[in-house]
Amino acid sequence: MTDTAVADAAKPPFPEQQQQVPGKTAQMAPVPDHGEESYRGHGRLHGKAAIITGGDSGIGRAVAIAFAREGADVLVSYLCEDEDAAETRKWVEKAGQKCALAAGDISDPEHCREVVKTAVSEFGKVDILVNNAAHQMSFENLEDIPDEEWQQTFATNIHAMFYLAKAALPHMGEGGSIINTASINSDKPNPSLLPYATTKGAIQNFTAGLAQLLADKKVRVNCVAPGPVWTPLIPATMPKDTVAEFGKDYPIGRPAQPAELAPPYVMLASDEASYISGATVAVTGGKPMI
């Protein structure tokens, strides 16, 4: 797909639509582009093994496809979206790479450890950990946010990164890469996404601190900060009118397709990024993060 075709397919207004959490790719209009037909690999991750949380759909699926076409085996961690996860596995295996699936809730520390155990059992090692899965919901008033919602958002979005990194580190050699998905909300919090935005700020800080902590082990830690991206999370967690105009107020005038997020993850996972650690790569359609 050309850049022009991507823009045409992704430009708002979109049909008003809403789904149940966590959302399904096939029910979106338009269906997101994960690079299924466009991404071309060049062997940049040959022989590596990766864990990708939230790898069933959205950014995670796009990264899984790109990693596989670059030569990496992939474990896809996901909550409960079996149909989406099977679709991601199809594309990884079509690229000639192994794909393991691990369903479950990463807010549970023991499940995080099981995810890493499964990857080590399947691949013998972990070279790349992509902490991408996230939970969000919209609220107009502080008093509308249940305590349980606040706790779940932190448990899924930031606590799991700690559990997974801690479990994966003993299986990562020199040159290992941890990539966390932050957000433009790290610097410019959307008030209607207060729990989510707060965790994204924490992720950026976690990334910077962990990069320093693991530098002597030669394991790099970075984060990617997307702007609006057309994924199932959007119709599943935002009002219909917001979905219809999603991304319109960004300089490029549209949300990113997941395929447009994959390249920075590939770069940060590759040996070519050997001196990049503690960085935030903003992919925000022209809206600055300063």
Which of the residues are catalytic? 196
- Contacts of residue 190, defined as CB under 8 A and 6 or more positions apart, other chains included, come to 196, 197
Cis peptide before 30 (omega within 30 of 0): yes
Q: Which residues on adjacent β-strands are paired with residue 130?
A: 52, 179
Give residue 286's region: left, alpha or beta (phi > 0; psi -120 to 50).
left
Q: How far apart are CA 246 and CA 16, in angstroms?
A: 10
Q: How far apart are CA 134 and CA 139, in angstroms?
A: 16
| Helix 147-154 vs helix 194-213: crossing angle, to nearest 10 | 30
Residues 281, 222: contact at Cβ < 8 Å?
yes
- Contacts of residue 156, defined as CB under 8 A and 6 or more positions apart, other chains included, come to 105, 106, 107, 133, 134, 135
Residues 60, 91: contact at Cβ < 8 Å?
no
